[in-house]
Amino acid sequence: MTPAELREQCTSFFAGHVPQTAAEEFAEMARWCAEHDVRHDTYGEGALIEGFEKKLAGMLGFEAGLFCITGTLAQSVALRLACEAHGSQSVALHPTAHVLVHERSNHQLLDHFQALTIGDPLRPWTLPDLQAQPDKIGAALYELPMREIGGQLPSWDELAAIKTYCQTQGIHLHLDGARLWEAVAGFGHSAAQIAAGFDSVYLSFYKGIGGLGGAMLLGDADFIARARVWMQRMGGNVYRRSPYVIAAAMRFDARVAAMPAYFARTVWLYEVLREFPQLRVNPAAPQSNMLHLHFNVSRERLMAIRDEIAQEHKVWLFGGAKHAALPGSCSIEWTVGDGLLRVADARVHDIIRQLATAVGQ
């Protein structure tokens, strides 16, 4: 069987939410639309989309919001506008920022801004990292939590110091909040408290929320008005955004409310993982409902183990694995969601024991 076929026949899922077929998801969307008398938007105008934008802006303390088709569009536009307003094309950001790692250099090739990487690639960047730059900086981007380093967060005091510094120095501070709701439990502060002090925020709806796609850009009214023009220039003003808005809006409240349960399950998962030294966890203690697991086997061997467990136990452990720095080692990413909540404790423990045993052979 192919990996996709193996995944389809699984009944338990350790990473993320339990997947739906297209038919199941569209049927759920149709029922929700009928229940709430939903109408399509037209080029981003309509009660559903405008109400959702207003709801998110209000939740996080911003004047306005703009539903975008992709986060790539949202962040490139946000940082371009921030740099134009502050007279510098330089954006300070972590070496593992999504705009550097996953967006094929669009910021450079489309002349949106110039990336100025700061901080250690394996740790969140700090205020001294920003202060050490001699250049005039137009904007700084902070990702919370930081996906590529296992969902790490800075300390609350460190984040507050960065906010204050950017305000006093006239640096536009932008939040990559693709997983903002996941950071709430780790910080012990609300999403509004986290977002306070940022000049703009990007949110994603297909990660922790589990929608089809889509993103939200938040800021003051003038900033969002200018962003709306740039979205149209860059091809983001599609005729109907309603499918993406519906898939996000119908799940939003329940998934945000479940984040503390996901974090509690992550804390419990760490206790299980500590029993197996073959499985090394990053970060050392849970900071969000995301973690990376490192293994002393090759990526190819680990994925073969994944497929063996899927075939024998109907359990899907993870999607892909990445080569790690040392030869013959690799890592995976786990985000705890509905999937792991639905798996009994004893079964989780047994599958992890089998994974550890297979890795140690």
| Domain containing residue 233: CATH number | 3.40.640.10
Return the H-helix or E-strand segment holding 268.
helix 242-273
Q: What is the pLDDT of residue 167?
A: 98
pLDDT beyond 90 at 68: yes
Helices (H), ranges, 3-126: 3-8, 22-36, 47-60, 71-86, 98-101, 106-109
Q: Say if residue 30 is in the same domain as residue 14.
A: no
The parent domain of residue 171 ranges over 22-252
Q: Say if residue 270 is in the same domain as residue 353.
A: yes
pLDDT beyond 70 at 17: yes
Contact between 323 and 294 (Cβ < 8 Å): no
Average pLDDT over residues 250-278: 97
Q: Which residues contact 176 (CB under 8 A, 6 or more apart)?
A: 75, 97, 98, 99, 141, 142, 143, 144, 202
Which among 197, 224, 252 is the end of a domain?
Answer: 252
Q: Say if residue 157 is in the same domain as residue 243.
A: yes
Q: Say if residue 172 is in the same domain as residue 272.
A: no
| Domain containing residue 322: CATH number | 3.90.1150.10
Which among 252, 270, 294 is the end of a domain?
Answer: 252
Residue 361's pLDDT band, with cuts at 50, 70 and 90, is low
Q: Say if residue 94 is in the same domain as residue 209.
A: yes
Nearest CA to 260 out of 192, 344, 187 is that of: 187
Which among 206, 225, 252 is the end of a domain?
Answer: 252
Nearest CA to 337 out of 214, 244, 206, 216 is that of: 206
Query: How many domains does the chain divide into?
Result: 2
Average pLDDT over residues 5-25: 96
Encode pLDDT of 97-142 as tens digits.
Answer: 999 999 888 888 788 999 999 999 999 999 999 999 999 999 999 9
- Percent of the chain topping pLDDT 90: 96
Q: Say if residue 13 is in the same domain as residue 95.
A: no
Q: Say if residue 283 is in the same domain as residue 209.
A: no
Q: What is the pLDDT of residue 108?
A: 83
| Cα distance between residue 50 and residue 233, in whole Å | 20
Q: How far apart are the first and last CA of the chain?
A: 24
CA distances for 30 relative to 55, 261, 326, angstroms: 22, 28, 49
The amino acid occupying position 50 is E
